[in-house]
Amino acid sequence: MKNLNILFLFLLISGVSFGQTTSDRFAYTDGNLVGNGGWTSHSGSGGFIQVSSGQAVIVHGSGSKEDANISFSAVSGSIYYSFDFSVDDLGNPYSGTDNEYFAHFMVGTGSFSARLDIVPPSAGGDFNVGISTLESSADNTWPTDLSFATTYRVTVKYDQNLNQAQLWIDATLETDTSILGSDETDPGNAITAFALRQSTSSENETIRIDNLVIASSFSQALSTKENQIEGFSMHPNPTDPGYVTISSKSNSKMQVSVFDMLGKQILSSTVRDNTLNVSDLNTGIYLLKVSQDETISTKKLVIK
């Protein structure tokens, strides 16, 4: 049983397919995304979408153009993509009118659906996100502005029958606040791939993406979300060898295990003061498993 648990944790961090669900945690060596985990380039110049510290990095801008996709079997009804993302600090709020989409569904290497883009804020924040069912410009934008260098979980649904996209930010239930893209002519596209896209935008922003899930239900789309312990957080991450701070809304002790990329447990510790000593870990990507109050969270730990 112990070996099966370790194998399962290793599969979670590596990114695998389970039935109707495809996931990727981008636990690859720093460098090109294409060539890892089934990702292929379908447009633009190759080698521009990079993996850095266990995240896929989209950099809009002249000379940095590549479209890459991961394909999967078609499903009927609705299909979802969900991932964690952050936008690097631009120094000033996002502005301009050339707001390029960076993630979307598609059929083969064309017929794009459920396009997601970064757009200017509307109420004093740093930026916002928009969703479009079919067009290259957003049909609708999120009602609350977002902040640079902050991680959010975005979930997007595309109803292939009704030909309409729907977007949530940091949702836990499908009934949570969401926005809709335009209701286009029925039926919609029969989706067979998810893509990441680089282009040239007004701000040429940098977007960091992690913990991608493609699924046929809302619950599946959130089923591999990192944090199951309420309020779970870990920082700094990536970190230099030393200490990381682990916290949650509970004051109970945490049992922490760290696994390497081969699934071998290399550290086990009981944490009571929110501080974990990782000074003996070498540079690389690890899986941190935290147990507290009969709940579990897993998170990538990057030692740089």
Q: Do 117 and 56 share a structural domain?
A: yes
Could you tell me if residue 8 is inside a domain? yes
Range of weakest confidence among 67-81, 181-195, 247-261, 284-298:
284-298
Tokens linked to 281: 């870990």
Could you tell me if residue 176 is inside a domain? yes
Q: What are phi and psi of 225, to 5 degrees?
A: -60, 140
Q: Do 247 and 171 share a structural domain?
A: no
Q: Do 17 and 146 share a structural domain?
A: yes
Task: State the CATH number of the domain containing residue 55.
Answer: 2.60.120.200
pLDDT band (50, 70, 90) for residue 5: very low
| Mean pLDDT along residues 38-53 | 88
Count of structural domains within the chain: 2
pTM above 0.85, yes or no: no
DSSP the chain: -HHHHHHHHHHHHH--EETTEEEE---S-SEESTTSTT-EEEEE-TT-SEEETTEEEEE-STT--EEEEEE----SSEEEEEEEEEE---SS----S---EEEEEEETTEEEEEEEEEE--SSSSSBEEEEESSSSS-SEE-SS-B-TT--EEEEEEEETTTTEEEEEES-SSTTS--EE----SSS-----EEEEE----SS--EEEEEEEEEESSHHHHTTT-S--STT-EEESSSB-SSEEEEE-S--S-EEEEEE-TTS-EEEEEEESSSEEE-TTPPSEEEEEEEEETTEEEEEEEEE-
Could you tell me if residue 228 is inside a domain? no
Q: Do 131 and 277 share a structural domain?
A: no
Q: What is the pLDDT of residue 7?
A: 42
Tokens 């003061």 appear where? 273
**Which tens digit of pLDDT belongs to each residue from 181-194?**
999 999 999 999 99
| Cβ-based burial of 110 (10 A; exposed 0-12, middle 13-18, buried ≥19) | exposed
Residue 281 is classified by DSSP as P
* Count of residues in the chain: 304
Q: Do 266 and 215 share a structural domain?
A: no
pLDDT band (50, 70, 90) for residue 241: confident
Last residue of a domain, one of 221, 241, 273: 221
Q: Do 261 and 171 share a structural domain?
A: no
Q: Do 129 and 70 share a structural domain?
A: yes
Q: What are phi and psi of 103, to 5 degrees?
A: -145, 145
**With 50 as the cut, is the pLDDT of residue 230 above it?**
yes
Could you tell me if residue 30 is inside a domain? yes
Q: Which domain holds residue 253?
A: 233-303
Q: What is the pLDDT of residue 1?
A: 40
pLDDT band (50, 70, 90) for residue 16: very low
Q: Do 46 and 140 share a structural domain?
A: yes
Helix (H, G, I), strand (E, B) or coil at 10: helix
pLDDT band (50, 70, 90) for residue 295: confident
